[in-house]
Amino acid sequence: MRRRSRREELYPPITMEEALARLSLYEGPPVSDEEIEKKLTEHAQREWRRENGD
**pLDDT for residue 35:** 96
**CB-count burial class (<10 Å; 0-12, 13-18, 19+) for 5:** exposed
Is residue 2 scored above 80 in pLDDT? no
Q: State pLDDT tens for residues 8-37.
A: 788 888 999 999 999 988 899 999 999 999
Give the predicted TM-score (pTM) of the model: 0.49
CB contact burial 24-45 (16+ within 10 A = b; e otherwise): eeeeeeeeeeeeeeeeeeeeee
- What phi and psi values does residue 31 have, to the nearest 5 degrees? -125, 130
